Structure 1
Amino acid sequence: MSGGDPVAETSSGTAIGARFGTQLRQCRQAVGLSLRQLAGRVGYDYSYLSQVERGQRPGSADLARLCDRELGTGHQLTDTYAEKHRRATPVEPLPLDPLGAAWHQLTSGYGGEDAVDECGDPHSVPPGRLLPELVSELQLLQARGPEHVASQAVRATRLCVLIAETLTGLGESRGARRWWWAGRAIADDSGEGWLRSELRAAEAVSGLAERRPLPQLLELADDALALAQHGLVRPSAVLQAHAVRARVLAALGEAVEAHRALQEVLSCSDALPSASTHDLPPYQVHGLEGRVCTSLGYGTAGCLLLGRALELCPDDNLGERARLQVAQAECLALEGEVAAALALAMRVLVELPDEWHTYYLYDDADRVLSAARQREPGLLGVRDLQVLLERRAYLSGRSVGSGSWPGQ
């Protein structure tokens, strides 16, 4: 341990963190760019950049590098961020594997100052750029010490979920497993039933894409539902638990139970109070409904609900919008519109920039391919979609298509 005053070191790191945000704002204003314009150039959400400039978010080395490039500031912002990071974590130099080090430190103790996570929308950042930002958030959380463990359970758990989902999206499902484990340990230690439920429901959804054993996923879904209905009940957690349980039951061929779960999903979404929308945005509610209907073979209903979700989904959430469209393609295939389904899925894969391609997107597209093969296996588009899926841009970095994405 360092022999210095930890309070003074933390204060120094905070001051430099504020200076990074101030310097970023000054550099941006010096070249006459608005927050939205700079956000568009560097690929980050403008509300997130605003929080960085105000010192409410730590930023990341990747953000500093991109801003230096777009603002023509050489290495000024990168150097300031690096100095902030050194002051914020004075005990040891940054290890070669910051993600692994963050996991080891988190599992031995975590802390912070608030139970509310005020992060910007992670869906507006490509996964490859999101991961270092999440690690930076986690390191900042750890640097504040273990004395506020209980108050930080929500934030720490959700960071674990986001890291696990992001790693899986980048094709690192094995590496994601320990983050699911860490998130479960933190949530369970918190004693919050709804938080424990939220974690298990998220892991079960990811497990469906990973094709993990269905009995294990059903156990997770059952646990999520039991926890969501116990103690302090959050309607959004109950909805998520019913939704993933319906999808797992449908995959197991338990049609009767799956239909009952679907009715619970629809009932919960109808009763969802507007106050809970900060936990589950309306587009995600309709997306859950649509995916459950799709898993049960209700193509028309699923397509309508997914279309409503797409209307409400923010334009800058390119990955989410792409997945909703591919899910719509599966609905079209279920209704016999195989050629249209294949065309839609291929258009999304070709036009979406490579940095937004994920394992989850390819799993969705693979379901379209499977549905198309069952109905019209000899169709030329079946082979074309298969070729696109074999390229796996999120693993190889090779371009799938033009890289132009309309955003609508």
Structure 2
Amino acid sequence: MERGATVFGRELRRRRETAGLSLAGLAQLVHYSKSHLSKVEHGIKPPSEGLARRCDHALGAAGELAALAAPPASPPPDEESVSDPDEVWTVVFDGGDVWFRAASRRQVLSAGAAGIGLGLLLPAGHGFERPAASAAAAAERDGARVLDGFQAMLAQSRALGQVLAPADLLPMLFGPTKALRRVAGQSSGAERDAMLVLASRFAEYTGWIAQEAGDETGAMWWTDRAVEYAATAGQHDMAAYALVRRGLIALYRHDGRQTVELALRAQHATRDPRIRGLAAQREAQGLAVLADRDGALRALDRAADLLDAAPTTAGAGPLGPTNSADQIEFARGWCLYDLGDTRRAAESLRAQYAALPATALRARARYGARLALALAADGEAEESASVTGRVIEACAQVDSATVRVDLRALARELNRMMSVPDVAAVRGPLSDLLNPAR
């Protein structure tokens, strides 16, 4: 049986010659050296995914060439809730660090204080506990005021999420979610439902911050809580949004098939135009990983129409990312990079990066990392190094496990350009960011 690198190399050479391109001509288009491409064509070197996609785009292979270099699919995600009905929320304090863990009551009791650290144990059962008398009295006296206060707290938390590291922000999010559940337990009717919906939004945001901290299990645990609280209030669209969130985790694993499958399920599970629009955007990103250019661009157009049709959301604000840039155009640049169209990707991402406010450090790290990656892949070494420097500064403050996915790919791209002084200058800081133990 022939090796994958041999099959890819032979097909690359066949398509290159059919297109009337010399090896040097293709090398110029994909920004790799002629000698490297020669080794790939002869099966001596395996192609990277990025090189395969760029060759696919340059030769108009419609995904067939990229598919030969695609990695094997990862195992399907666990579709069941990652929680246990008899568990507690454990906020662990250790050497100045604070993090969240869910554990069964039996585990906590058997481990004891020495086993789990000095922690705050918060019951996480599916019922709603009776709150302290003062909280219940406040809710009865002025429920609207309580809701307004928690809505302002969520808006503040989102703003802080742009400038704080996940480890610093997560402990601030546990308390409001817990408090809203308690107050909801002593409320009734529309007021109770509004509090549960707001608790759901806190839990959803906490899940996203947990993913930024690199905790996929915690991210889905909190997303499950968001679904639970919203469903108790009679709102079931959050279950569809949870599929969009699972799709994001699959996307960062570079699993296009799972991403598309979850996105399609989300679109069929709700009529909410914003959630369906976000799901269509996720579908487009998954299709781009699968090198389906036409399908990805059609899904993006559908996402734009759905998001434009979504009504303005009051209170806790809309689900999903919110910033001053055009989310669909950012997704378009993201997809174009994955499709190997690095020039157009850089153009789109450059415009969206410029639209972000200087204070939105997390968004600037996210957009900037993908822009720097597209610029490096397109041979724009100096501009890529300049953007990389700004991303490193932002990440030093906010940290992001998802941004590091792109930064690792960026480091590989920049390693091929070490003769450029600007690139050499950012190599050390980038390596330190990706390898803090060193």
What TM-score do the two structures reach when normalised by structure 1? Answer: 0.59
In the other structure, the counterpart of 1:226 is 268
Cα drift, residue 136 of structure 1:
2.2
Partner AA of 1:105 in structure 2: A
Residue of structure 1 aligned with 2:380, choices 337, 347, 367: 337
Percentage of identical aligned residues = 19
Distance 1:338 1:166 in 2: 32
> Given that residues 184 and 196 in structure 2 are in contact (C-alpha distance below 8 angstroms), is that contact kept between their aligned partners in structure 1?
no
Cα drift, residue 178 of structure 1:
1.9
Matched, 1:246 2:287: no
Partner AA of 1:352 in structure 2: A
CA deviations on 1:258-277 (whole Å, 9 max, x unpaired) are 232123234445x3568369
> Given that residues 342 and 368 in structure 1 are in contact (C-alpha distance below 8 angstroms), is that contact kept between their aligned partners in structure 2?
no
Residue of structure 2 aligned with 1:355, choices 397, 400, 405: 397
Matches within 5 A, 1:129-144: 129-144=168-183
Partner AA of 1:329 in structure 2: A
Distance 2:348 2:254 in 1: 27
In the other structure, the counterpart of 2:215 is 172
Residue of structure 1 aligned with 2:124, choices 98, 101, 105: 105
Distance 2:418 2:169 in 1: 40
> Given that residues 187 and 199 in structure 1 are in contact (C-alpha distance below 8 angstroms), is that contact kept between their aligned partners in structure 2?
no
Q: Secondary structure at the match of 2:340?
A: coil
Cα drift, residue 134 of structure 1:
0.8
Distance 1:239 1:343 in 2: 33
> Given that residues 157 and 199 in structure 1 are in contact (C-alpha distance below 8 angstroms), is that contact kept between their aligned partners in structure 2?
no
Q: Classify 1:386/1:245 alpha carbon distance in 2 versus 1 (closer, same or farther; 3 Å).
A: farther
Partner AA of 1:310 in structure 2: Y
Q: Classify 1:192/1:139 alpha carbon distance in 2 versus 1 (closer, same or farther; 3 Å).
A: closer
Gaps in structure 1 of 5+ consecutive residues: 1-94, 399-408
Q: Secondary structure at the match of 1:291?
A: helix
Matched, 1:318 2:356: no
Cα drift, residue 246 of structure 1:
0.9
In the other structure, the counterpart of 1:290 is 333
Partner AA of 2:298 in structure 1: R
In the other structure, the counterpart of 2:241 is 198
Aligned Cα root-mean-square deviation (Å):
3.9
> Given that residues 180 and 196 in structure 2 are in contact (C-alpha distance below 8 angstroms), is that contact kept between their aligned partners in structure 1?
no
Matched, 1:184 2:248: no
Distance 2:311 2:220 in 1: 34
In our comparison, the structure showing a higher alpha carbon Rg is 2
> Given that residues 385 and 423 in structure 2 are in contact (C-alpha distance below 8 angstroms), is that contact kept between their aligned partners in structure 1?
yes
Partner AA of 1:202 in structure 2: R
Matches within 5 A, 1:142-157: 142-146=181-185, 147=187, 150-157=193-200
In the other structure, the counterpart of 1:365 is 407
Partner AA of 1:136 in structure 2: G
Structure with a larger share of its residues in strand: 2
Distance 1:177 1:227 in 2: 18
Distance 1:108 1:297 in 2: 50
Q: Secondary structure at the match of 1:139?
A: helix
What TM-score do the two structures reach when normalised by structure 2? Answer: 0.55
Q: Classify 1:198/1:140 alpha carbon distance in 2 versus 1 (closer, same or farther; 3 Å).
A: same
In the other structure, the counterpart of 1:258 is 296
Q: How many residues align?
A: 294
In the other structure, the counterpart of 1:40 is none
Distance 1:276 1:282 in 2: 16
Structure with a larger share of its residues in helix: 1
Q: Secondary structure at the match of 2:352?
A: helix
Cα drift, residue 243 of structure 1:
0.9
Q: Classify 1:109/1:204 alpha carbon distance in 2 versus 1 (closer, same or farther; 3 Å).
A: farther
> Given that residues 266 and 289 in structure 1 are in contact (C-alpha distance below 8 angstroms), is that contact kept between their aligned partners in structure 2?
no
Distance 2:294 2:426 in 1: 33
Partner AA of 1:179 in structure 2: W
Distance 2:211 2:259 in 1: 16
Distance 1:363 1:212 in 2: 10
Q: Classify 1:168/1:259 alpha carbon distance in 2 versus 1 (closer, same or farther; 3 Å).
A: same
Q: Secondary structure at the match of 1:97?
A: strand
Q: Classify 1:314/1:282 alpha carbon distance in 2 versus 1 (closer, same or farther; 3 Å).
A: closer
